[in-house]
Amino acid sequence: MAGPPLQSLDLKERCLGDARLALEVLASSRDEAAITMEALGGLADRADLRRMAFEAHGLKGTAATVGASPFSAARGALEVSARAGDLGGCRSALGRARSAWSASLPALAAAAEGEVGP
């Protein structure tokens, strides 16, 4: 995976300087991504490519909102593969997304701590 898990995280600025709101957005994004990642695994097992494309599209936006660019890119690759009907490509992209997601978790936690501050 190229680059840091979070890039140019200026979420606090996007939240108009509200550190608590930024923390809530980070936590919500983290929780939503965890649920969706679990669901995507099941969708891959059932070869439900249409639903995978839908879920990947939403998660790609969520990841971009918090600045998780590598995770967002992996989500985008999953969406493209699903829309193309490429189950093998979906499974490969899902593996990359899982790796990017795992790499993003510590950075999301650290960013959340930094957003709230002392």
On whether residue 69 sits in a domain, the answer given is: yes
97 located within any domain:
yes
For residue 50, the enclosing domain spans 18-113
Task: Quickly list DSSP for 40-84.
Answer: HHHHHHTT-HHHHHHHHHHHHHHHHHHT-HHHHHHHHHHHHHHHT
How many independent structural domains does the chain possess? 1
Task: State residue 115's pLDDT score.
Answer: 47
Whole-angstrom distance, CA of residue 115 vs CA of residue 3: 21
Q: What CATH number should be reported for the domain holding residue 35?
A: 1.20.120.160
In a domain, 11, yes or no: no
Look up residue 50 and give its amino acid. Answer: R
Q: How far is CA 2 from the centre of its chain?
A: 15
Tokens of 32: 């939503």
Instruction: Determine, yes or no, domain membership for 95.
Output: yes
Between CA 8 and CA 71 the distance in angstroms is 14
85 occurs within a structural domain: yes
SS percent in the chain: helix, strand, coil, step 5 = 80, 0, 20
Is residue 41 in some structural domain?
yes
Highest mean pLDDT among 7-11, 21-25, 78-82, 96-100: 78-82
Can you give the pTM of this predicted structure? 0.79
Q: What is the pLDDT of residue 47?
A: 96
Q: Is residue 118 part of a domain?
A: no
The percent of residues in the chain predicted with pLDDT above 90, rounded, is: 38
pLDDT band at residue 53 using 50, 70 and 90 as cut-offs: very high
Helix H or strand E encompassing 12: helix 11-14
CA angle 29/89/35 to nearest 5° reads 25
Higher pLDDT, 50 or 14: 50
- Whether 6 is in a domain gets the answer no
